[in-house]
Structure 1
Amino acid sequence: MAPKVLISDKLSDAAVQIFRDRGIDVDFQPDLGKDKDKLLEVIGQYDGLAIRSATKATEKIIAAADNLKVIGRAGIGTDNIDKDAASKKGIIVMNTPFGNMVTTAEHAIAMMFAVARQIPEASASTHAGKWEKSKFMGVELTGKTLGVIGAGNIGGIVCDRARGLKMKVIAYDPYLSEEHATEMGVEKVELDDLLTRADFITLHVPFTDATKNILSREALEKTKKGVRIINCARGGLVDEEALADLLKSGHVAGAAFDVFAEEPATENPLFNLPNVVCTPHLGAATTEAQENVALQVAEQMADYLLTGAVQNALNSPSVTAEEAKIMGPWIKLADHLGHFIGQMTDEPIKAINILYDGEASEMNLAALTSATVAGIMTVANPDVNVVSAPIIAKERGVQISTTKQDQSGAFEGYIKVTVVTDKRERSIGGTVFSDGKPRFIQIKGINIDAEIGRHMIYTTNEDKPGIIGALGATMGAHGVNIANFTLGRSAAKGEAIALLYVDEPVPAAALQELRDTELFQQVKPLTFNVD
């Protein structure tokens, strides 16, 4: 059955057609998002939900979305989506952070021009029939120092445009390397240095605990007298009350804001102050940007629903369509490794340690790790998936660590998973052979080569005669056909293990019969999703 997607906000006809061209059943109801009761009533029918800002994907809506796998936001802001609720339910939340980068950067540059030359006030005065040429004395941008807080995607474009305007650009960004700053033609500085040197300051960071009020009263008071502040990023990055006070005192010469701490902003300390330019969150409001983000979200959602490719997800590792093809067998292996350990572990897990060797270490480790953790946790909770598993593990205090190493053995690459509990450590390793099939290659440090089937039996015993006969005879007596039989031992007459891949579930009576022989220390039935 084709995946079914609901578009509950206004997206372009071209975006709707992308879903249809990809074979997805799309229900285009652009006004439905405004009716939360109706949305609640129908959301359970859909695999995907494509929205802009009008639809509110609340915890209540998500709780009713029994089949939902992905929410796609055409745009960058996802404040209208309860991401915690979505993550816990295993729903991927993705946005389109790159579709409106140029538009938002251009708006910041336009706002900088507007506040430098007092264009809005001069326009209003002229429209009113006044001719106050001497009243609106501006400043040039050429030769001025622009301080950019956040030199990522949008901030980087602003830096490039500002250099074209012959401005000196300094940037504060903890993640910006000296080498990349040099490539961009900007000077990397600390925040205090930027505050004291910049003639204009523009913000291009997300709103987080670290960036909330990054331009606090204390920070604003450190700025150069006559500075002009531009914020086209997120509300809450600037202490608006403090900025209003410094505008009134004349320390700050002007400000241009497209975003506010509370939106819609019908009241704000910055309103009606001289040389303050305000726009109603127009950063992405161009026809090109709106079309771009609509097309991108349609492509991203279609890719995920049809191929498993994850792009621009906020709560899951990204996996490109090409990676999904190459990594498919490895992700399946990671799931099998996790599922083996999950079925073998009855006590609370304290830590999960994952070793990636050789070829495996060069892949998308975040995706492999999520698959491993999900494999472990689905044993106790079948509703867990790669999105929700890391979150649930963290909530339970499970420490997850990963290690990479160069090829160290006969295999081009492998994954080894170790689980730590209060009582013991348990480990299993696996690889993917050239035929694309995952194999178990080590359990408890004992080397094996085991094909993985839907129904399996795992046994441990002392290495002594009679084990193979007991397993074969018991399975035969109960009509269970053995598809594959793998043995391994630590040393002659030491610890030994067996893995049997069988064609059907093993009856409880057969398992008990094996235990009653007293040949085995452990007899454990296992199941794996091999589809």
Structure 2
Amino acid sequence: MTKPKVLISDKMDPNAAKIFEERGCDVDVITGETPEELKARIGEYDGLAIRSSTKVTSEILDAATNLKVIGRAGIGVDNVDIPYASGKGVVVMNTPFGNSITTAEHAIAMMFALARQIPAANTRTQAGEWPKNDFMGVEVTGKTLGLIGAGNIGSIVAARALGLRMKVVAYDPFLTEERAIEMGVEKADLDTLLSRADFITLHTPLTDETRNILSRENLAKTKPGVRIVNCARGGLIDEAALADALDSGQVAGAALDVFQTEPAKESPLFGKSNFICTPHLGASTTEAQVNVALQVAEQMADYLVNGGVTNALNMPSLSAEEAPKLKPYMTLAENLGSLVGQLAHGNLTKISIEREGAAAELSGKPIEGAVLAGLMRQYSDTVNMVNAPFLAKERGLDIRSVRHEKEGTYNTLIRVTVGTEQGDRSVAGTLFGTDAPRLVEMFGVGIEAELAGDMLYIVNLDAPGFIGRIGTLLGENGINIGTFHLGRRQAGGEAVLLLSVDAPIPQDVVKQACALEGVKVVMPLAF
């Protein structure tokens, strides 16, 4: 079996390459290439490991014809076009925990530097001055820290601040009351936080909702004399408005590790006595650099070799331990999606994915993704679990996932129902044993079949002699039947026939089958 091939295109700890090799991947370390050089090279790789230097644009992704996963050693993925990668079926991962402590500690260090004006005092002292009376600082003990973003890094900052005997007020739309109590912080809306905080730290990603969250308007709402720290993402603060607030004294001091444009060669903030900055050092510790490099290598190798998905930004997580257990379910789900997609007529309007018994106890998102991958394969030959939900959304498909705790006729069951202009169409399947997917119901007719290879689907009137006629027709055309599956609602009514054959059935044979007495529908299938 060919080993997955990975390119490390940015500088990272050399142990990352060793992990890829130990886990069964071939790896090349080629850093510092131009976009044109990367574009010319990327087509031969299954995985791309990056830091912040490599820009994974739509042009790079178009050239990455074999790419399956991008791993960002770090938190921010501003340098990856995630929507385009998703459309291409490429998993995008990051390492949100590898540098969390380092970034949180940098924010605390910046807060202390602001409170005691350490950079300016250091500069003047080393210049031969002794400006003891020029630097009157403030204590952090007893002050209120306003935390904008209470996720992984924000929660670490909160813990450190509480240890410094600060009060912490947190604003985060996703923060629950229970989580706030667990963290020991007060949950508040943004306006309340701005009016009460003596220090404000930001720990949120840059999105349309968070861009310029500290706008000119919001800076005017802050408590006079507030000190602001941003070690998260550039663009969260209106830098021109912050410069004016520093001049007016509304903001007593600001410390930024990130800027809207990086590298930051110029800024309205530069040169102000109450402003300090660092060149995006939040994750720059020896421990963090090692951690994120090793973590991204482990995650990418697990995906490429075992199918495990960890810290993905565009598909559900699936551990390497879960993947083998889910694999037969996902095969079944994908086949059911493919079957109903091939057989349903007219434009699809909705899809319902139901899980019963043992299937209901498993993670639903991977199964849903597998169903959609099978369904959307009728519209794209490059579809997979990553881009299938996006393709379904583009087509306006209403997706519904249902979990039934009850166990029915089968120990485990997945049912896929699509809505069409002609009404709903439903198929269902189960596992025989623990790993043998089988179709057990088709449009209300009980039928047991393995969905694999080339097949022929026929609906006919249940009458003597039909099986002989279809067998003779296929035999006369040199088509060998592998398996033969029958089902019917009642004697003399409609019957369903599923045949597996050894080769695709020519269109002229399909036409001959349609002309047989009693035949209503004939359709070739492929799995």
**TM-score normalised by L of structure 1:** 0.95
**1:346 CA drift (Å):** 4.8
CA distance in structure 1 between the partners assigned to 2:523 and 2:327 by the alignment: 28
Distance 2:430 2:105 in 1: 49
Q: Secondary structure at the match of 2:293?
A: helix
Q: Please list, as runs of the form range in 1=range in 2, the aligned pairs for 1:46-445 lying within 5 A after superposition.
A: 46-445=45-444
Deviation at 1:476, TM superposition (A): 4.0
Q: Matched residues in 2 for 1:116 and 1:395: separation?
A: 51
Per-residue Cα deviation, 1:58-93 (whole angstroms, up to 9, x for no partner): 222211112111111111122222223322221222
* Matching residue's letter, 2:295: Q
- Verify the 8 A CA contact 2:345 2:422 in the aligned structure 1: no
Shift of 1:112: 0.8
2-side partners of 1:412 and 1:259: how far apart? Answer: 54
Deviation at 1:155, TM superposition (A): 0.5
* CA distance in structure 1 between the partners assigned to 2:492 and 2:140 by the alignment: 83
| Cα pair 2:48 2:69 within 8 Å, conserved | yes
Q: Do 1:359 and 1:407's aligned partners in 2 also have CA atoms closer than 8 Å? A: no
> Aligned equivalents of 1:493 and 1:199: distance in 2?
82
Counterpart in the other structure of 1:449: 448
Q: Give the match's secondary structure for 2:165.
A: coil
For residues 388 and 508 of structure 1, the distance between their equivalents in structure 2, rounded to whole angstroms, comes to: 31
Q: Read off the aligned partner of 1:474 and give its amino acid letter.
A: L
Which residue in the other structure is 2:13 paired with? 12
Q: Which region of structure 1 is more displaced relative to structure 2, 491-500 or 173-182?
A: 491-500
Partner amino acid, structure 2, of 1:78: V
Tell me, in whole angstroms, the C-alpha distance in 2 between the residues paired with 1:217 and 1:435: 60
The CA deviation at 1:347 is 3.0
**Partner of 1:488 in structure 2?**
487
- Give how far 1:482 is off: 3.4
Distance 1:232 1:94 in 2: 21
8 Å CA contact retained: 1:213, 1:237: yes
In 2, are the aligned partners of 1:407 and 1:413 still within 8 Å (CA)?
no
Secondary structure at 1:349's aligned position in 2?
A: coil
Bigger drift between 82-91 and 296-305 goes to 82-91
1:500 maps to a residue whose letter is: L
How far did 1:385 drift? 1.6
Question: How far 1:350 moved relative to its partner?
Answer: 2.3
Q: Report the Cα distance in structure 1 between the residues aligned to 2:357 and 2:171, rounded to whole angstroms.
A: 37
Retained in 2: the 8 A contact 1:470–1:514?
no
Residues in 2 aligned to 1:37 and 1:241: alpha-carbon distance in whole angstroms: 35
Contact 1:478 1:507 in 2 (8 A): no
The one-letter code matched in structure 2 to 1:12 is: D
**In the TM superposition, what is the alpha-carbon distance from 1:268 to its structure 2 partner?**
1.7
Distance 2:491 2:148 in 1: 66
Q: CA deviation at 1:505?
A: 3.2
- How far 1:348 moved relative to its partner? 2.8
Give 1:54 shift. Answer: 1.7
Report Cα offsets for 1:367-419 as digits up to 9, x if no partner. 22121111111123211222222222222222222222212412233222122
**In 1, are the aligned partners of 2:345 and 2:420 still within 8 Å (CA)?**
no
Answer whether contact 2:332 2:437 (CA < 8 A) is retained. yes
- State the shift of 1:103 in Å: 0.6
Instruction: Report the Cα offset of residue 227 of structure 1.
Output: 1.3
Provide Cα deviations, 1:251-274, integer angstroms capped at 9, x if missing partner: 211111111122221222222222
Report whether the alignment pairs 1:25 with 2:36.
Answer: no
Secondary structure of 2:134's counterpart equals coil
Report the more deviating stretch, 239-248 or 140-149: 239-248
Unaligned 5+ residue runs, structure 2?
none
Verify the 8 A CA contact 2:427 2:441 in the aligned structure 1.
yes
* Partner amino acid, structure 2, of 1:468: I
* Structure 1 vs Structure 2 CA RMSD: 1.8
TM-score using structure 2 length: 0.95
User: What runs of 5+ residues in structure 1 fail to find an aligned partner?
Assistant: none
- Asked if structure 1 preserves the Cα contact closer than 8 Å seen for 2:6 and 2:45, the reply is yes
Indicate the SS of the match to 2:370: helix
- The one-letter amino acid of 2:79's match is N
Q: Which amino acid aligns with 2:167?
A: K
Q: 2:517 maps to what in 1?
A: 518
What is the CA distance between 1:448 and its match in structure 2? Answer: 2.3
State the 1:157 CA deviation. Answer: 0.7
* Secondary structure, aligned partner of 1:273: coil
- Alpha-carbon deviation of 1:365? 1.8
Which stretch of structure 1 is more off in the superposition, 395-404 or 480-489? 480-489
CA distance in 2, matches of 1:41, 1:210: 36
Q: Offset at 1:501?
A: 2.6
What SS does the aligned partner of 2:158 have? helix
Deviations along 1:450-479, one digit per CA (max 9) or x if unpaired, are 222212221112333333333334344444
SS in 2 for 1:400: strand
- Percent of aligned pairs with the same residue? 57
State the Cα deviation string for residues 322-378 of structure 1 (Å, max 9, x = none): 111110011111110111122123533222222222322332222221211111111
